[in-house]
Amino acid sequence: MNAIEVPRLRLAVLTLVLLAQGCATPTYYPPRGERLPPPVIEQGSQAPGEPRPPPVASVPQPTAPVVRPRSPAVVALLDTAEQQANSGDLEAAAASLERAIRIDPRNPVLWYHLATVRLAQGDAQAAEQFAAKSNSLAPGNTVQQSRNWQLIARARHAQQDEPGAAAAEQRARELAGR
Amino acid sequence: MARRRPRRRKRSHKPFPWIKLLLVLLLVLGGYIVWLDIRVTAQFTGKRWSLPARVYARPLNLYAGQELTPAQLAAELDALHYRPVRAVQHAGQYSRNREVFHIMTRPFTFWDGVEPARDLRVSFSGAAVAELADRGSGHALALARLDPVLVGSFYPAHNEDRVLLQLDEVPVGLTDALIAIEDRGFYQHHGIAPMAILRALWVDIRAGGVVQGGSTLTQQLVKNFFLTSERSLARKLNEAIMAVLLELHYSKDEILEAYLNEVYLAQDGNRSINGFGLASYFYFDRPLAELSVDQYALLVGLVKGPSYYNPWKHAERARARRNLVLDVMANLELIGRQDAARAKTQSLGVGPVGRKAINTFPAFLDLVRRQLQTDYRDEDITSEGLTIFTTLDPQVQWQLERVLAGRLDALERGRGMEHGTLEGAAVVTSVQDGEVLAMAGGRDSKFAGFNRALDAYRQVGSLIKPAVYLTALEQPESYTMATLLDDSPLTYTARNGDVWEPQNYDRQNHGQVPLYQALAHSYNISTARLGLTLGVDRVIDTLRRLGVEQKLRPYPSLLLGAVEMSPFQVTRMYQTFASGGFATPLRAITAVLASDKTPLQRYPLSVRAAIAPGPDHLITTALLYVVREGTGRAVYQVLPADRNVAGKTGTTDDLRDSWFAGFTGDRLGVVWVGRDDNQPTGLSGSTGALRVWRDLFAGFNDSGWTQTLIDDIEYRWIDPATGLLADAGCQDAVQLPFIKGSAPTESAPCMRGVGSLPEAVDWFKELFQ
């Protein structure tokens, strides 16, 4: 830790709000219907010049997003992470968040919190990467994206990258205004 | 006379040198005792044992909504040696009534603290956990974890193994029985029991040699601790002196605890089993605290001679010895007569003899050891008693071992190859956090030799092509998914005059091919031409960003995969695609605890943005097409059509190496199949490695790979024949993603103005408003 401002971690305050939004992320999840009976047909080596069989199916096109149920396990781990962070045990908080990510790896909220913990530990580079990862999992979720960019601004500021920090802040404001 | 006098005079002075000699002797003896004392205290006070590091699999988390089948939970409990019972009463037991489990878990110290013992009720609905509750209170629990499966240990050179126990962890009944059998006067004597020695001496004299010990527990400890097993009077004397010294310095409890951990109780190959803690696992597959009275009576009986009373080889001897111990215990009223009688009727209860190989997953352990070696010295790994938590998922590992061996057998049978011709290796990771879930170093998963997953460097063939296409797609002003590539014959002359004429696998030329199809069908000529236009150096830069670390020479043949990589290296590269463009170090270890269970080190998750979101979206879409329409489509002969899989096949010259790298929304798997002598196998990526991958992933209930729609991507209907905009008039139109502003603006000839195709992303736009 050096002169970096330590943000007070208010995970719980944000948790429920963000988790709800994180869950409504408009990524597209192809429908997961019943399994088809597997046609186990062994094909021999495809001889050169053999005509291609018709495609099995086309690449699924975008469909409506699936809203995932909120996992009590993930909420419980976020609670634990918050307690650990607030009692100063940041590495334990990171471990709890990683455990939550193991359960729900595409939840942008979890990656965002991991970024805040790393920033509080003074690892601004890691914080920026985790915030970017959160962004990549939160398309259309402008609230989460704005928070991520705010955090990136702080991380860049901590690395004396003032122009970068200003650009990130600008981005955060734009997203918040949408 | 005159001569004799001086003699006499001398003689009268004689006693004096004798005393001198005696003093010297006493001094030497005193010095010797002091030296022994220093040895005894130094050894006993300092670190007493070198303890092997213990390696654990990931703990199984339990929570409502978790994808897990009852069979998988049962398999995990079995691997943990939980015992199925009708009514659960103790830790380490479970009962199952169809889809409802009652489990009494064992407490376990993790990196982040102790997970307490819990009394759980787990109910299933289909292939998921429906409910998790505390059986005592009936309240729902958000999350619990089982103790992790022990998957191996790192032993020092002399192969001594033990599970260290503190005295209060040892059942009182066991210590009572031990004292009753081995040294009834333990709490009274001062290290030696003279009467016992005399009795033993009498027996020895009558027999004309040393046959009986008469040793106290303290003496036995000293013998094990400091001395060789040689039987001589001098050693006996040393033993006695050291035993007395030990008793002078240490309490009975300290000596007893050391004894319980030191005593030799079995031999497992070249590994010696020391102490009751490990012996309990060795004989009964469970911790000491979970043993019944007949079981620890057997352990106590074994102290006298583990090989003579070996319960597998000499069951009757072992039974008689155990029953003798039970009788002694009953006579001393340590247990009731009835209890003793009942215990004597029990079977020996030892586990299957074949389950002794401790290092169950040698290839994975090899990876763990290598990752540890960057932070720890070898002697620390083998002697400091570290607890190592890993990312290994036993369920995935078992599945991998089964399908790799089974599929290679089937491939050999199907092609009339001699059994054992083919070899294979594979790595499975989780897509977002890069945890190594399973690893196979060869088809014989128990063989701890050559680890092909880490050390077999083989040409990767077409597996390298996505790096070429990504390099192109990162220049949206020049290349899009629909850009037509030239697949006509290519002759490239290097500066040194070498001529390179790449051929397609099917020996055909395909004319003008849209970029995504050239990758999907893995056309060599169009790829080579594209790569040469982009520049080999730029492709190498891309490979570096993707996480490829080894030396790469900028030859044109690199573009078609004339580069040797290990399956693990390939996994690193594809991990970056699978995790949304973030290079994610592959971790096998999550944390390490010191021998006193305090946290020593954590191996945290880390990510590094390697591909911008736009190009990442494009390249992963192209990899989806590989499996939907291209060389990877055999995947869907088995996997359900609605499960998105992105991947790539790889085949090298003369069919020497067969590769497949593919990922779902949850897991990435990389498989190599080939021969150790690098001879042709007759297998392409699709007919070899893909089959193994397919068998493996058919067993997972993964979610499909989900493509994330992002702001800078838009989808357009395209006519593949021309790479131009299409409408309902174009029969084979496909919807392709473009980085905004890069989509073609010209219409294809097939567009007849009969109406536009549906805008598939309309729903998406609405979400922004």
* Range of the structural domain that residue A71 is part of: 13-24+67-177
In whole angstroms, how far apart are CA B700 and each of A44, B97, B349, B588, B693?
25, 24, 36, 20, 11
pLDDT confidence bin for B203, thresholds 50/70/90: low
Which two structure tokens, joined as six digits, stand for B566?
């290990």
Task: Give a yes or no: residue A40 inside a domain.
Answer: no
pLDDT of residue B359: 62
pLDDT of residue A14: 43
How high is the mean pLDDT of chain A?
Answer: 73
* Mutant choice from A133, A135, A156 vs B, greatest count of B C-beta within 10 A: A133
Instruction: Give me the phi and psi of B379, to 5 degrees please.
Output: -70, -25
Which two structure tokens, joined as six digits, stand for B322?
């155990």
Specify whether B684 is catalytic: no
Is a pLDDT exceeding 60 seen at residue B649? yes
Residues of A in contact with B129 (CB under 8 A): none
Domains of chain B (ranges; CATH) run 54-154 (3.30.2060.10), 160-356 (1.10.3810.10), 436-698 (3.40.710.10), 713-768 (no CATH)
pLDDT tens-digit readout, A114-160: 999 999 999 999 999 999 999 999 988 999 999 999 999 999 999 99
3-state SS, residue B155: coil
In whole angstroms, how far apart are CA B290 and each of B86, B264, B673, B716?
16, 21, 45, 65
In whole angstroms, how far apart are CA B75 and each of B52, B83, B121, B221?
27, 12, 17, 40
Task: Give a yes or no: residue A151 inside a domain.
Answer: yes
Instruction: Compare all CA atoms of chain A with the CA of B580 and give the residue at the minimum distance.
Output: A136
Among A15-19, A93-97, B82-86, B430-434, the minimum mean pLDDT is found in: A15-19
3-state SS, residue B685: coil
How far apart (Å, rounded) are the C-alpha atoms in residues A44 and B725? 38
DSSP-H helix ranges across B91-193: 172-182
Q: Is A130 within 8 Å of B607 when comparing Cβ atoms?
A: yes
How far apart (Å, rounded) are the C-alpha atoms in residues B311 and B635? 50
Looking at the complex, report in whole angstroms how far the Cα of residue A43 sits from the nearest Cα belonging to chain B.
Answer: 7
Residues forming a β-bridge with B370: none
**CA angle, residues B607, B611, B612, in degrees to nearest 5:** 110
Instruction: Please tell me which of the candidates B521, B642, B767 has its beta carbon nearest to residue A32.
Output: B642
Task: Give a yes or no: residue A106 inside a domain.
Answer: yes
Q: Which residue has the higher pLDDT, B556 or A9?
A: B556
User: What is the 8-class DSSP label of residue B435?
Assistant: B
Looking at the complex, report in whole angstroms how far the Cα of residue B111 sits from the nearest Cα belonging to chain A.
Answer: 9
Smallest CA-to-CA distance from B671 within B488, B417, B400 is with: B400
How far apart (Å, rounded) are the C-alpha atoms in residues A65 and B765? 12
Smallest CA-to-CA distance from B362 within B395, B401, B403 is with: B401
How far apart (Å, rounded) are the C-alpha atoms in residues B637 and B127? 23
Q: What letters, b where the CB count within 10 A reaches 16 and e where it falls short, cover B159-192?
A: ebbbbbbeeeebeebbbbbbbbbbbeebeebebb
Among A52-66, B465-479, B702-716, B731-745, the minimum mean pLDDT is found in: A52-66
Which is the catalytic residue, given B115, B182, B401, B423? B182
Nearby residues of B317 by Cβ (< 8 Å), 6 or more positions away: B308, B309
Residues forming a β-bridge with B715: B737
Which two structure tokens, joined as six digits, stand for B715?
């989808």
Q: What is the secondary structure of A28-67 as a DSSP string?
A: ------PPPPP------PPPTTPPPPPPSSPPPPP-PPPP
Strand B387-390, strand B53-56: pairing: parallel
Which two structure tokens, joined as six digits, stand for B446?
């128990």
Q: Does B761 touch chain A (CB under 8 A)?
A: yes
How far apart (Å, rounded) are the C-alpha atoms in residues B471 and B465? 10
How far apart (Å, rounded) are the C-alpha atoms in residues B256 and B66? 46
How far apart (Å, rounded) are the C-alpha atoms in residues B578 and B572? 10
Task: Give a yes or no: residue A32 inside a domain.
Answer: no
Q: Is B505 within 8 Å of A139 when comparing Cβ atoms?
A: no
Q: Is A137 within 8 Å of B665 when comparing Cβ atoms?
A: no
Length of chain B measured in residues: 769
Is a pLDDT exceeding 80 seen at residue A16? no
Task: Give a yes or no: residue A35 inside a domain.
Answer: no
- By the 8 A CB rule, do B250 and B225 touch? no
Which two structure tokens, joined as six digits, stand for B630?
């291209």
Interface of A with B in 133-172 (CB under 8 A): 133, 135-137, 139-140, 142
DSSP-H helix ranges across B561-639: 567-578, 613-629
What end-to-end distance do the CA atoms of chain A give, in Å?
A: 35
Name the pTM for this structure.
Answer: 0.83
Q: Which residue has the higher pLDDT, B384 or B119?
A: B119
In whole angstroms, how far apart are CA A159 and each of A156, A167, B295, B627?
5, 14, 63, 43
Is a pLDDT exceeding 90 seen at residue B210? no
How far apart (Å, rounded) are the C-alpha atoms in residues B14 and A62? 113
Is a pLDDT exceeding 80 seen at residue A1? no
In whole angstroms, how far apart are CA B180 and each of B167, B201, B376?
17, 22, 44
In whole angstroms, how far apart are CA B382 and each of B57, B161, B388?
18, 10, 12
Task: Give a yes or no: residue A50 inside a domain.
Answer: no
Percentages helix, strand, coil for chain A, rounded to the nearest 5? 55, 0, 45
Average pLDDT over residues A43-56: 34
pLDDT of residue A59: 59
Task: Give a yes or no: residue A31 inside a domain.
Answer: no
How far apart (Å, rounded) are the C-alpha atoms in residues B764 and B769? 10
pLDDT of residue A74: 95
Q: Is A76 within 8 Å of B760 when comparing Cβ atoms?
A: no
pLDDT confidence bin for B425, thresholds 50/70/90: very high
How far apart (Å, rounded) are the C-alpha atoms in residues B506 and B357? 48
Task: Give a yes or no: residue A29 inside a domain.
Answer: no
Instruction: Compare all CA atoms of chain B with the CA of A71 and give the residue at the minimum distance.
Output: B65
* Highest mean pLDDT of the ranges A80-94, B182-196, B234-248: A80-94
Q: Is A57 within 8 Å of B636 when comparing Cβ atoms?
A: yes
Smallest CA-to-CA distance from B70 within B84, B89, B58, B50 is with: B84
Chain-centroid distance, C-alpha A49: 45
pLDDT of residue B144: 95
Amino acid making up residue B728: A
Interface of A with B in 52-81 (CB under 8 A): 52-53, 55-62, 64-65, 69, 71-73, 75-77
Residues of A in contact with B636 (CB under 8 A): 56-57
What end-to-end distance do the CA atoms of chain B give, in Å?
A: 136
How far apart (Å, rounded) are the C-alpha atoms in residues A132 and A116? 12
Q: What is the secondary structure of B731-752 as a DSSP string?
A: TT-EEEEEETT-S--SBPTT--
* Percent of all residues in chain B with a pLDDT value above 90, rounded to a whole number: 62
Q: Is A72 within 8 Å of B682 when comparing Cβ atoms?
A: no
CA atoms within 13 A on the CB side of B726: 21
3-state SS, residue B485: strand
How far apart (Å, rounded) are the C-alpha atoms in residues B335 and B314? 26
Residue labelled with tokens 């005792």: B33
Nearby residues of B332 by Cβ (< 8 Å), 6 or more positions away: B176, B180
Instruction: Give me the phi and psi of B713, to 5 degrees please.
Output: -115, 135
Q: Is B644 within 8 Å of A60 when comparing Cβ atoms?
A: yes
Amino acid making up residue B11: R
> What is the number of structural domains in chain A?
1
User: What is the 8-class DSSP label of residue B67?
Assistant: B
pLDDT of residue B221: 87
Q: Is A129 within 8 Å of B665 when comparing Cβ atoms?
A: no
How far apart (Å, rounded) are the C-alpha atoms in residues A155 and A126? 9
How far apart (Å, rounded) are the C-alpha atoms in residues B398 and B189? 54
Looking at the complex, report in whole angstroms how far the Cα of residue A3 sits from the nearest Cα belonging to chain B.
Answer: 23
CATH for A119: 1.25.40.10
How far apart (Å, rounded) are the C-alpha atoms in residues B319 and B322? 5
Q: Is B582 within 8 Å of A59 when comparing Cβ atoms?
A: no
Q: Is B640 within 8 Å of A75 when comparing Cβ atoms?
A: no
Specify whether B125 is catalytic: no
Interface of A with B in 116-135 (CB under 8 A): 126, 129-130, 132-133, 135
How far apart (Å, rounded) are the C-alpha atoms in residues A130 and A118? 9
Smallest CA-to-CA distance from B717 within B701, B704, B729, B705 is with: B729
Q: Is A139 within 8 Å of B711 when comparing Cβ atoms?
A: yes
Nearby residues of B203 by Cβ (< 8 Å), 6 or more positions away: B211, B212
ipTM of predicted assembly, 2 dp: 0.83
Which is the catalytic residue, given B445, B462, B579, B742? B462
The alpha carbons of chain A give a radius of gyration, in whole angstroms, of 21
- Give, for B110, the enclosing helix (H) or strand (E): strand B108-110
Residues of B in contact with A140 (CB under 8 A): 709, 764, 767-768
Looking at the complex, report in whole angstroms how far the Cα of residue A81 sits from the nearest Cα belonging to chain B.
Answer: 11
